Homo-oligomer: A and B are copies of this chain.
Amino acid sequence: MKGQLAQRMSRTKKSFIREILKVTQNPDVISFAGGLPNPDYFPIEPLRAAADRVFAEQGRQALQYAPTLGYEPLRAFIAQRYTDRTGMAVAPDEILITNGSQQALDLVAKILIDPGDHVLMESPSYLGGIQAFTMYEPEFVTIPLGEDGIDTALLAQKAAHPQSKLFYALPNFQNPSGITYTLETRQAVSQILAENETFLIEDDPYRELRFMGEDLPPITSFNRERAFLLGSFSKIVAPGFRMGWICAQPSLMDTLITAKQGTDLHSNYVSQLIIHRFLQDNDLDAHIATIRAAYKAQREIMVAMIEECFPPEVTFTLPEGGMFLWVTLPPQLSAMDLFEAAAKQNVVFVPGAPFHVGGTGGNTLRLNFSNTTSEKIEVGMTRLAQAIKQMMLKEVIR
């Protein structure tokens, strides 16, 4: 309407997490809220050396306009890593470099979603996915997660609907729940989607952060026809570069390139060359092993503190990797009320409600264990346990 913003913006909300992050600037606050990697493990000096080499040796190329797909040697590196590690043969031209996974979500949504299309979502799901998709005005259809991943019986039912356009899955150490799909669930999901001609967006930023159990193949590896597999350097190198990618077959890639051209021509080329130089001159696997060991130790302290201090009525997930634990309070308790009580005691987390599209999940919350220290986990979890106990006590008295 004249003089007014577009309809789609009336449905889109600011990120509650990013709003919380603003509040946590106070150094006394212990935050389990952000989804931030631990900056202690940023490879600052190796990246400094890589940047220096790029400016010295490839300055003119790095600073000029560049191909939409991205820097070919970087795409070849990513493709080769998939080929070596997932048994899925990927060619360099099947990789499009994006501004982090978040832009990948936006681009795929842009080329897939017509208003009213059904987007099948895990419940809970990643807030950034909900935000990206909302702008293309779909109808969200939620399917609960269990210990083995998505409820496949319900997925089959929902995918059969004539408007089921796509299923959005985070099968490894999901944000926010920490849940991982079993091999059987992955295979079943792939088959259900093929039978129903439903697209797959497989969002996989934490794949390399597994610290127990065995790597499992991407859902995409079983059938690539309508699948978009998303990856990122944010968790294994650094998020400040905003560097992610989409892996998709050529038939889909053509349309993605058109969308990427109209959206921002191409991703930051200087940073693509710096990351590629870093990958050539350093041992990525050794670097990732360091991150994994640190996150594993922090996750173990957090779990130990929950087991020691939280009331037994509170349940939680045991992630095999990634950066998050998911906590479920007794049904009568509100995680939003707990947030306010805990913030007063200088500890914060993200209430679960924003990760749900249907207004459920009011008694759930997400805890981040990557961007903190063992000491802070001990102090912060003690404070959080106290706040929970006080709330439960009030409930009993009331």
Contacts and interface: CB of A to CB of B under 8 A. Distances in A.
Given A7-B114, A47-B55, A268-B271, A106 B60 contact: no
Contacts of A262: 12, 102, 106, 128, 131-132, 134-135
Interface string A61-103: 0111111100000000000000000000000000000111011
B263 A106 contact: yes
Interface stretch (A147-155, A237-245, A308-316, A348-356): A237-245
Contacts of A60: 39, 42, 44
A270 to B, nearest CB: 5
B63 A44 contact: yes
A240 B135 contact: no
Interface in A280-336: none
Contacts of A267: 99, 242
A242 B261 contact: no
A397 interface: no
A357 to B, nearest CB: 14
Interface in A21-80: 22, 34-37, 39, 42, 44-45, 47-48, 51-52, 55-56, 59-60, 62-68
A154 to B, nearest CB: 18
Contacts of A37: 64
Interface stretch (A161-169, A200-208, A213-221, A377-385): A161-169
Report how many copies the assembly holds: 2
A3 interface: yes
Among A1, A67, A266, A270, max chain B CB count under 10 A is at A270
A75 to B, nearest CB: 16
Contact of A257 (B3, B14, B111, B117): B14
A156 to B, nearest CB: 15
B264 A99 contact: yes
Contacts of A13: 258
Given A5-B255, A14-B258, A99-B99, A268 B242 contact: yes
A101 to B, nearest CB: 9
Interface in A124-172: 128, 131-132, 134-136, 162-165
List 4 tightest A-B contacts by C-beta distance, closest first: A3-B197, A48-B55, A63-B238, A44-B59
